[in-house]
């Protein structure tokens, strides 16, 4: 009798689940569990942006926001209205902060991202280092705002040289104690350090000092965001499994890798993508969306990448091309996010309980609007 084919991802997953259950729980017969229903509170929506997804991330979110506005009929809606948590590393951390700390539209955030990146590149020149030129746009954008001033849960990943371990800046922790609260502009500037230096970031009470080195180009923080939601029962009490989350993850453009650091970062991003896809199993088709370049036409613009055929991770089989383009996946994701919003309007149970800042600082909410920043107006800033 011919042996069954192992090409089926479903068969591979069943075998893997049986072996895992036998290893973890002994040799008792394994019963195949029936699919667990989604929480009555609905799905928690997570936005994750890789460290190397600056241009593609901005373009993807602009397109996603455009679809959300068109489908909802609300021309003023923004990305932050549809996601419960944002997490980013590197330039992705800056983009997430612009969206969740300032509640900017994706197009406005895209403009500021380019401006801040341009200023940051100038500071790396000999002239910029000589006069220690600071990134003025970051200061204008975020003012004295701290992590706990973010409108929704916000996570920023980095590497702490003082402890030699990863560190996650978290709004949830910032609300609990000043020792975990940091100025957003300092965190974002530190997150943009790319292997050529580091930056020390001090907490609001001065007791905690983090020597930040960016986690690396192209790093994927998706797993950190999922873990935070799964274990933060105070803010996400109804999340009991991956069936209760919807993850929208944006990766890199797939350009040719030029150095060891970019290779390592891309390998990490792919490994996390593979692990997350394996964790979701069959529900990855409905609960996990990953936008990234397929590396076939390296060097393409972000707009061209969105029109490319997208790729997905397959259990034990690496990646494969899908039938849809990245743009079509964005449109589908917009529809799913809108469905979740409609479901929440009809539900009596909120899926998220965002911690309130217990001791808000009157001087911290000084983040300015895009108009004030770009015009350099001396008038009183308009608060977001």
Torsion of Cα atoms, 226 then 245 then 326 then 114, to 10°: -50
Per the CB < 8 A criterion, the answer to whether 337 and 71 are in contact is: no
User: Catalytic site residue 28?
Assistant: no
Identify the CA nearest to 302 among candidates 49, 56, 60, 117.
56
Structure tokens at 269: 């991003």
Rg (CA), the chain: 21
Our CA angle for 90, 340, 228, nearest 5°, is: 40
Structure tokens at 287: 């609960």
C-alpha torsion sign, points 94, 96, 97, 98: positive
Pairing of strands 85-89, 154-160: parallel
Q: Which of 39, 89, 203, 249 is catalytic?
A: 89
- Residue for token pair 């936008």: 291
DSSP H helix total and E strand total for the chain: 14, 10
- Beta-bridged to residue 325, according to DSSP, are 309
- Beta-bridged to residue 245, according to DSSP, are 44
Structure tokens at 245: 């989350």
Per the CB < 8 A criterion, the answer to whether 210 and 201 are in contact is: yes
| Residues designated catalytic | 89
């Amino acid at each position: 009798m011919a042996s069954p084919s192992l090409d089926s991802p479903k068969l591979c997953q069943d075998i893997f689940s049986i072996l895992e259950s036998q290893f973890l729980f002994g040799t008792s017969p394994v019963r195949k569990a029936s699919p667990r229903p989604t929480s009555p509170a609905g799905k928690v929506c997570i936005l994750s942006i890789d460290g190397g997804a600056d241009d593609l991330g901005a373009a993807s979110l602009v397109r996603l926001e455009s679809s959300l506005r068109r489908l909802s009929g609300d021309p003023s809606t923004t990305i932050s209205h549809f996601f419960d948590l944002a997490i980013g590393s590197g330039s992705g951390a800056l983009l997430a902060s612009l969206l969740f700390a300032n509640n900017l539209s994706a197009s406005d955030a895209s403009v500021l991202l380019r401006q801040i990146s341009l200023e940051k590149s100038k500071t790396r020149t000999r002239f910029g280092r000589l006069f220690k030129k600071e990134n003025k746009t970051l200061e204008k954008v975020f003012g004295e705002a701290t992590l706990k001033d973010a409108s929704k849960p916000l996570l920023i990943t980095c590497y702490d040289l003082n402890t030699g371990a990863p560190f996650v800046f978290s709004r949830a922790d910032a609300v609990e104690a000043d020792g975990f609260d940091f100025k957003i502009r300092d965190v974002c500037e530190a997150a943009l350090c790319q292997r050529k230096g580091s930056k020390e970031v001090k907490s609001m009470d001065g007791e905690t000092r983090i020597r930040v080195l960016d986690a690396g180009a192209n790093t994927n923080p998706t797993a950190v965001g999922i873990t935070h939601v799964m274990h933060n029962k105070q803010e996400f009490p109804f999340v009991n499994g991956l069936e209760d989350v919807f993850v929208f993850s944006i990766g890199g453009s797939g350009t040719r890798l030029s150095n060891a650091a970019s290779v390592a970062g891309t390998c990490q991003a792919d490994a996390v993508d593979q692990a997350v896809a394996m964790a979701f199993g069959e529900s990855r088709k409905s609960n996990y969306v990953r936008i990234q370049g397929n590396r076939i036409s390296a060097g393409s613009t972000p707009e061209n990448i969105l029109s490319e055929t997208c790729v997905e991770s397959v259990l034990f089989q690496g990646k494969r091309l899908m039938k849809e383009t990245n743009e079509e996946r964005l449109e589908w994701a917009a529809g799913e996010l809108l469905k979740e919003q409609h479901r929440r309007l009809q539900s009596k149970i909120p899926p998220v309980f965002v911690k309130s800042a217990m001791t808000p600082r009157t001087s911290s909410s000084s983040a300015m609007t895009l108009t004030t920043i770009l015009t350099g107006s001396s008038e009183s800033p308009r608060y977001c």
